Amino acid sequence: MRLGRVLSLAMIGVVALVACLTVEAEPRHVFLTYSDAPETTIDVNVILNEHEGEVQVYYDTKSHDGKVEDYAHHVTAPYIQTLMVISDERALAVATLTGLEPDTEYYFVAGEDEFGMSKERKFRTLPGGDAPIRFVTGGDMGVDGFVISLLGMVGEEEPDFGVIGGDIPYANGLLGRPDLWDKWLHNWDHLTTSDDGRMVPIVTAIGNHETNDYISDNLELRAPWYMALFGRQAENIYYTRKFGDNMVMFVLDSGHLVPHEAQVPWLEQEMAKHQDVPFKFALYHVPLYPAHRDYEGGGSVAGRTHWLPIFDKYGLTVGMENHDHVFKRTKVLKGNEVAEEGTVYIGDGCFGRAPREIDPQPRWYNEKEAAKAHFWVVDVKKDGLDLKAIDAEGLELDRFSLTK
């Protein structure tokens, strides 16, 4: 009996060791971003515990339960050298899948043939044209507290993608905090992935808590994790992303790595180029119309001085603002006053962080304010937008619509 027990304990040990080795060999994280048209391309980002062999992505429009030889398509994901490797040796490989069919579900596995593949994952390309799009947005998240319940509700909304306006895990650009990025990536993956396994691609802008105090012109040194994980969405940290025929998004850096004024020529050019797109969104961290901090705060003044005239000139539809950790929706504004036609600014970045205080009365530019954690759900349709804000209890904080 005694020998039998020892043997069975030994067997359990062997099984546990094998399981442990298997788990360790799988990619640490897999997440999705865009660096081109979301109707026909996607970036599969694979984080490995260390750089061993070549990373492969096998994909198909049908499920093959992870049997790599059965997937119709295959691409090698190039290893990308990032500063993460001098944090704890972790390595990144990114495969850009191209030539995809719009409005189509793709199944994939990613990893190293020799060392272990991810389980089968799934994504859906955007439909393109006039078809409706749904996305969620918010910023100032962190890795615990309200973010857990909010991200769980994101999954229930089944968005096409998620738009994050900076201050992501609050790692402050420190190479010594891989744990925070691990938790954030884990939360996003496990909480937003729908019950049928569809992953939610991530679109980001940078916030102050992605940067450190190191004095350098090298953006990788100033924001090592952000640049490593999200620095390939475009050539610059500020960029334009088009979604279908009806929606364009201008992603800006509210002065964390690049000053507001340095982005003006680019913003003018891009908004002019896309002026016929019916629904124009801007995403950035520091609000032009803050609901907690001082209206005369430096970042807010810089936004109103340098960006607002261009937003007004080309008819920005919605400004997605963050940083203040409250809920707000502005009135329709143009020329820095309440107007019949103009821009609505939503925010203010409370997608997990504890809410801050608001004034006893709403500020002149705000329609609504609340000290509530929340995220926004935006439906883009051919002839209008529907927006709703959902709080940490799952209650609807706000709902409004905008037409062309």
For residue 371, the minimal CB distance to Fe ion (Å) is: 17
Closer to Fe ion by CB, 317 or 322: give it. Answer: 322
Report the relative pairing of strands 366-370 and 374-381 from DSSP bridges. unpaired
Joined together, the tokens standing for residue 219 give 């953006």
Nearest Cα to 163, choosing from 19, 397, 377, 384? Answer: 377
For residue 256, the minimal CB distance to Fe ion (Å) is: 9
For residue 254, the minimal CB distance to Fe ion (Å) is: 9
Closer to Fe ion by CB, 82 or 263: give it. Answer: 263
- At CB < 8 A and 24+ separation, what contacts does 391-395 make? 391/327, 392/146, 392/149, 392/150, 393/149, 394/149, 394/153
Closer to Fe ion by CB, 124 or 323: give it. Answer: 323
For residue 166, the minimal CB distance to Fe ion (Å) is: 6
Closer to Fe ion by CB, 210 or 391: give it. Answer: 210
Strands laid side by side in the 247-251 sheet: 239-243, 247-251, 279-283, 318-320, 344-347, 327-330, 366-370
For residue 329, the minimal CB distance to Fe ion (Å) is: 19
C-alpha 23: how far from chain center: 26
Joined together, the tokens standing for residue 4 give 């039998």
| Contact positions vs Fe ion (CB under 5 A) | 167, 207-208, 323
In which element (H, E) is residue 43 found? strand 42-48
Secondary structure of 124-180 in HEC code, one letter for each residue: ECCCCCCCCEEEEEECCCCCCCHHHHHHHHHHHHCCCEEEECCCCCCCCCCCCCHHH
Closer to Fe ion by CB, 183 or 356: give it. Answer: 356
Do 307 and 364 touch, CB atoms closer than 8 A? no
Closer to Fe ion by CB, 90 or 256: give it. Answer: 256
In the complex, which residue's CB is closest to Fe ion?
323
For residue 172, the minimal CB distance to Fe ion (Å) is: 11
Closer to Fe ion by CB, 213 or 383: give it. Answer: 213
For residue 46, the minimal CB distance to Fe ion (Å) is: 29
CB count within 10 Å of CB 63 equals 14
For residue 349, the minimal CB distance to Fe ion (Å) is: 7
SS3 33: strand
SS3 134: strand
Closer to Fe ion by CB, 109 or 168: give it. Answer: 168
